[in-house]
Amino acid sequence: MLSYQQQFIRFMAVSGKHRPLIPIPLPTRWISVWFLNVITSVPPTIAKALIQGLKHDLIADDRALRALIPQTLIPFDQAVRRTLKEEEQLVNSSDWGYDDQAFARWRPEYGYYPKQAGCTVVTQASRQALWQVVNQIGGEEGYFFGNLLWKTRGAMDLLVGHRLAKGRPQRAYLQTGDTVDSWKVIIVEEEKQLTLLFGMKAPGLGRLSFTINDKGDRRELDVRAWWHPHGMPGLIYWLLMIPAHLFIFRGMAQRIARLAEQISGRVEG
């Protein structure tokens, strides 16, 4: 049996990621899911299970479960090595469009579980109209909402010497591999999803997705950012950007829906 502290010590030994272990002089009930969500990238559901496990000082007895579900058990260190090996392939997946650039930029230090923020709106606009508008990103409409904030973020990159690409293809619909300013198109599913790889300077790896779901008499448009933070700097960056993200993504989704509704109205008329 290994305590949480012993597991942390073994994990650091196997992974080579050495961190100070600081006991918190607080009752377990004071440690909340919100607290873990702030200081780590662990999802709330897993954080809740971990906290509930801390409330009970019991010796685990899995004999009954192992009798029902026979399986070959492996040592803790071997399990850590296997997990770290699988984690290396995280970005080489459909979520990232199997993109070579995303795979090359991935680092073992990045959080396995992504942070995410976005907005979903319901609209009467057609899938075709929504797709047409989404593909205009980076053009005359810019980023649909908060363009000054987007430009300010780009200026911050210039200040630290990170030069950003400008412009986008002239054609109406984007293709995989296209660039939109500093973004790279990594997923194109016609009338369903457009995903862009984050290219600005920041401690982590991220993507921005536009997803269209047809609900019969209405459509749902979801605009969402996914962020794998690089340690504490990546988490702090995400927390600082959250207010702007929520404000911008809501505005983007609403603006795209309005423009698409105008197009749908003209087609019907």
The per-residue pLDDT for 166 is 81
Q: What is 152-214 written as a DSSP string?
A: HHHHHHHHTT--------SSSS--TT-EETTEEEEEEETTTEEEEE--SS-SEEEEEEEEEEE
The per-residue pLDDT for 114 is 92
Q: Is residue 122 classed as helix, strand or coil in its secondary structure?
A: strand
The per-residue pLDDT for 28 is 63
The per-residue pLDDT for 136 is 97
As beta bridge partners, residue 118 has 224
Backbone angles phi, psi at 117, to 5 degrees: -150, 145
Cβ(191)–Cβ(127) under 8 Å?
A: yes
pTM, entire model: 0.83
d(C-alpha 121, C-alpha 105), whole Å: 32
Question: Where in the chain are the domains?
Answer: 4-87, 94-268
The per-residue pLDDT for 184 is 95
Written as one letter, the residue type at 104 is: A
The per-residue pLDDT for 144 is 95
CA 186 to chain centre: 14
Cβ(87)–Cβ(112) under 8 Å?
A: yes
For the domain 94-268, what is the CATH superfamily, name and number?
START domain (3.30.530.20)
Give, for all 269 residues of the chain, the pLDDT tens digit.
788 889 989 999 998 888 888 877 766 666 677 777 777 878 888 888 877 777 777 777 888 888 899 888 899 999 999 998 888 888 888 889 999 999 999 988 888 889 999 999 999 999 999 999 999 999 999 999 998 988 888 777 777 666 667 889 999 999 999 999 989 999 999 999 999 999 888 899 999 999 999 999 999 999 999 999 998 899 999 999 999 999 999 999 999 999 999 998 866 55
